């Protein structure tokens, strides 16, 4: 008898979370995918199949913007992987030394940028790099590099890289903390065993610690990937919705925002916006699947 | 890293790198803060000097207080963040308890379903969320933000909390059952107090992204009455681009509350990350 009865308390415990999550997250997600198959004709919603995607990839004006945004997004991600993660690993490796004093203070201070909002970060750097205020040129002059100063955020060639580096500055605390935690969890016996075999110092890090923290590096990479491919705030705060100069800092998030809401003379188009959102969904899904099946399943995990 | 062996040169090098990076991390914040207390000419003449008796001025803050409704923005942000945390923690803990405690058909499937949202960002569904909020009339209310952030926060909260709930001893719960406590009493009176540290971790993880979010306030609640502090300072700064005093003061005022929260909760946050809550 007990088996067949519905256990109401389980339903009560699960219901609120499942309802909110389903109604606000899952349903809109699929609704957005569905909306990308429609368009508006004379204020009525018409089903057009994959027409929006044909426009997005086939129409020169749309596809140029899309590939530009996608390419910029990959460059944005590439800079993060190349700069953010190595710096994070280096700082974590130094901090994980048990004899180091004040490590809690360093940790707390280096994490500060991560808690600031994109608006603060974007404007603060914009002011600092601004040729009008002259903090950056002034400081570069002081060390004799004054001639190298350029208005980096204002130049097409450098603005995207500059913004990526600002974002790296903001988020370096996260890889640092996660790697730091991974390094602390390596038992001393393993390091001592390595020492008996003559592995100390840098080679101990390279041959023992680094292989052991690879799973953490994998997690950080996928978190960075997902974060970068739905990034929007920093670009919007620093360069506006037009992602200037001349769209050189346009990434998928800003492209979708402009398409969805419209800007200047172009009207907003929720259906094309949904098509771009669907493309973003696809890219993130491919990335996550690649991580789960190709990387995570092959990675050896060590139990201590 | 043979710094572990205590070579003084290496220790010095380690401190050198860390101090250098700490300066890089704090310098922009420092520059903004000191210049917000200076009058216009000294902001430009000596941007790196501390404000002294001659250059000290609060003109920027006066503009901010007169022109922008920062108190209202702050209040909105606070309401949204606190209410969201309440719902994420309550609903998240309840669902986590159901998943961790009871064996029922579809338990694993439900767990996977709820975990989807950890990797898939909620922003992808923005178009449909906006349509739904417009249809239900929730647009430009604080409720719309609370609902969206609750949905966004639940997956990770459930994931972390159920890991912790699995560690609560069965003996305790069974003793409660023998004493005739209902499942609800067991959850609220026995289990919840025991996972309080994990709840604090979840709260801190959720707090910062909600407080700092620009996307959803911009799209779902951009009206003057519902602007959050992040959106409010964004708009304010956009309008006052050339008034450097006002911009610097607005930035400082946006930095201040987060810094206060961070100082209060940084231990919890760092302990949460380093104890492997996000794995």
Label each residue of chain A as H, E or C. CCCCCCCHHHHHHHHHHHHHHHHHHHHHHHHHHHHCCEEEECCEEEECCCHHHHHHHHCHHHHHHHHHHHHHHHHHHHHHHHHHHHHHHHHHHHHCCCCCCCHHHHHHHHHHHHHCCHHHHHHHHHHHHCCCCCHHHHHHHHCCCHHHCCCHHHCCCCHHHHHHHHHHHHHCHHHHHHHHHHHHCCCHHHHHHHHHCCCCHHHHHHHHHHHHHHHHHHHHHHHHHHHHHCCCHHHHHHHCCCCCCCCCCCCHHHHHHHHHHEECCEECCHHHHHHHHHHHHHHHHHHHHHHHHHHHCCCCCCCC
Predicted pLDDT at A207: 84
CATH number for the domain spanning B227: value is 1.10.3720.10
What global pTM score does this model have? 0.88
Dihedral of CA atoms A193, A194, A197, A202 in degrees, nearest 10, equals: -160
Tokens of A7: 């256990």
Q: How many domains does chain B have?
A: 2
H-run or E-run covering A38 = strand A38-41
Predicted pLDDT at B96: 94
| For testing contact with chain B, the best of A103, A108, A123, A299 (most B CBs within 10 A) | A123
Predicted pLDDT at A138: 79
**Does residue B136 form part of some domain?**
yes
Predicted pLDDT at A228: 93
Question: Is B145 in contact with B216 (CB distance < 8 Å)?
Answer: yes
Complex prediction ipTM: 0.86
Mean pLDDT on B42-69:
82
- Distance, CA of B254 to chain centre: 14
Note whether B115 and B16 are same-domain residues: no
Tell me whether residues B128 and A29 touch, CB distance under 8 A.
Answer: yes
- Distance, CA of A67 to chain centre: 19
Predicted pLDDT at A1: 43
Least reliable range by pLDDT among A184-198, B13-27, B262-276 = B262-276
Evaluate the CA torsion angle A252, A256, A259, A262 in order and state its sign. negative
Tell me whether residues B47 and A281 touch, CB distance under 8 A.
Answer: no
Percentage of the residues of chain A whose pLDDT score is greater than 70? 96
**Does residue B150 form part of some domain?**
yes
Tokens of B195: 């996972």
Higher-confidence residue of B101 and A263: namely B101
pLDDT digits (tens, 9 = 90+) for A229-280: 989 989 998 888 888 788 899 999 999 999 988 877 677 888 999 999 999 9
pLDDT digits (tens, 9 = 90+) for A183-220: 888 888 888 888 888 877 778 888 888 888 888 888 89
**Does residue B83 form part of some domain?**
yes
Sort out which chain B residues have CB atoms less than 8 A from A25's CB and list them: 117, 122, 125, 151-152
| For testing contact with chain A, the best of B120, B127, B259, B271 (most A CBs within 10 A) | B127
Predicted pLDDT at A267: 78
pLDDT digits (tens, 9 = 90+) for B147-163: 999 999 999 999 989 88
- Provide φ and ψ at A45, rounded to 5°: -85, 125
Tell me whether residues B129 and A16 touch, CB distance under 8 A.
Answer: no
Tokens of B35: 């210049």
pLDDT digits (tens, 9 = 90+) for B201-259: 888 878 888 988 999 999 999 998 999 988 988 888 888 877 888 888 888 888 888 88
Q: How far apart are CA B175 and CA A128, in angstroms?
A: 62
- Domains in chain A: ranges and CATH: 59-118+154-296 (1.10.3720.10)
Give the three-class secondary structure for A82. Answer: helix
Partners of A40 in beta bridges: A45
Note whether B197 and B178 are same-domain residues: yes
Q: Least CB-CB distance to A17: which of B24, B158, B278?
A: B158
Sort out which chain A residues have CB atoms less than 8 A from B119's CB and list them: 222, 226, 284, 288
Note whether B154 and B54 are same-domain residues: no
User: What distance separates the 2 farthest-apart alpha carbons in chain A?
Assistant: 85
Note whether B50 and B72 are same-domain residues: no
Note whether B142 and B14 are same-domain residues: no
Predicted pLDDT at B80: 96
Note whether B109 and B72 are same-domain residues: yes
**Does residue B148 form part of some domain?**
yes
Residue B113 binned pLDDT confidence (cut-offs 50, 70, 90)? very high
Query: Where in the sequence is the domain holding B39, given as residue range(s)?
Result: 2-60
Tell me whether residues B25 and A10 touch, CB distance under 8 A.
Answer: no
Predicted pLDDT at A3: 52
Quick check: A26 pLDDT over 90? Answer: yes
Residues 127-186 of A with CB under 8 A from B: 127-128, 133-135, 138-139, 169, 172, 174, 177-178, 180-181, 184-185
Predicted pLDDT at B69: 83
pLDDT digits (tens, 9 = 90+) for A31-57: 999 999 998 887 888 888 888 899 889
Note whether B50 and B82 are same-domain residues: no
């Amino acid at each position: 008898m007990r088996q067949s009865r519905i256990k109401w308390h389980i339903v009560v415990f699960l219901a609120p979370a499942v309802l909110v999550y389903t109604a606000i997250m899952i349903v809109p997600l699929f609704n957005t995918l569905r909306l990308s198959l429609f368009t508006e004709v004379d204020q009525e919603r018409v089903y057009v199949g994959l027409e929006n995607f044909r426009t997005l990839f086939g129409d020169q004006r749309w596809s140029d913007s899309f590939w530009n945004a996608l390419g910029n997004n990959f460059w944005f991600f590439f800079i993060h992987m190349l700069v953010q993660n190595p710096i994070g690993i280096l700082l974590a490796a130094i901090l994980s030394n048990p004899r180091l004093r004040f490590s809690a203070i360093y940790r707390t201070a280096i994490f500060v940028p991560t808690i600031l909002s994109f608006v603060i970060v974007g404007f603060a750097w914009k002011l600092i790099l601004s040729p009008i205020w002259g903090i950056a040129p002034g400081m570069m002059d002081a060390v004799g590099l004054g001639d190298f100063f350029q208005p980096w955020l204002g130049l097409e060639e450098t603005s995207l890289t500059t913004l990526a580096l600002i974002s790296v500055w903001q988020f370096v605390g996260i890889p640092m903390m996660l790697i730091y935690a991974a390094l602390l969890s390596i038992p001393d016996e393993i390091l001592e065993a390595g020492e008996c075999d003559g592995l100390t110092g840098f080679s101990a890090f390279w041959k023992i610690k680094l292989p052991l923290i690879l799973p953490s590096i994998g997690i950080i990479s996928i978190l960075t990937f997902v974060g970068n491919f739905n990034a929007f705030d920093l670009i919007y705060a620093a360069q506006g919705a037009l992602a200037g100069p001349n769209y050189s800092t346009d990434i998928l998030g800003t492209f979708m925002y402009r398409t969805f809401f419209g800007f200047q003379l172009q009207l907003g188009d929720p259906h094309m916006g949904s098509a771009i959102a669907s493309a973003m969904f696809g890219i993130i899904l491919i990335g996550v699947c690649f991580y789960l099946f190709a990387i995570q399943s092959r990675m050896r995990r060590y139990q201590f | 890293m043979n710094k572990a062996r205590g070579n003084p040169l290496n220790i010095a090098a380690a401190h050198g790198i860390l101090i250098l990076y700490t300066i890089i991390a704090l310098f922009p914040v420092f520059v903004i803060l000191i210049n917000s207390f200076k009058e216009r000419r000294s902001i430009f003449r000596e941007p790196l000097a501390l404000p002294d008796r001659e250059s000290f001025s609060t003109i920027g803050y006066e503009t901010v207080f007169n022109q922008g409704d920062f108190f209202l923005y702050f209040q909105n942000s606070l309401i949204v963040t606190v209410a969201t945390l309440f719902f994420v923690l309550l609903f998240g803990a309840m669902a986590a308890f159901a998943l961790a405690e009871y064996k029922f058909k579809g338990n694993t499937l439900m767990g996977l379903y709820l975990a989807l949202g950890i990797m898939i960002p909620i922003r992808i569904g923005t178009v449909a969320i906006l349509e739904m909020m417009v249809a239900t009339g929730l647009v430009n209310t604080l409720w719309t933000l609370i609902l969206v952030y609750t949905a966004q926060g639940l997956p990770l909260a459930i994931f972390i909390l159920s890991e912790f709930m699995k560690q609560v001893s069965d003996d305790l719960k069974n003793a409660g059952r023998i004493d005739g406590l209902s499942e609800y009493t067991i959850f609220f009176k026995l289990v919840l107090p025991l996972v309080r540290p994990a709840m604090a971790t979840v709260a801190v993880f959720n707090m910062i992204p909600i407080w700092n979010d620009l996307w959803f306030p911009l799209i779902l609640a951009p009206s003057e009455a519902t602007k959050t502090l992040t959106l409010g300072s964004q708009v304010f700064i956009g309008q006052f681009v050339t008034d450097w005093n006002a911009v610097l003061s607005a930035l400082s005022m946006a930095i201040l509350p987060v810094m206060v929260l961070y100082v209060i909760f940084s231990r919890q946050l760092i302990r949460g990350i380093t104890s492997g809550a996000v794995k």
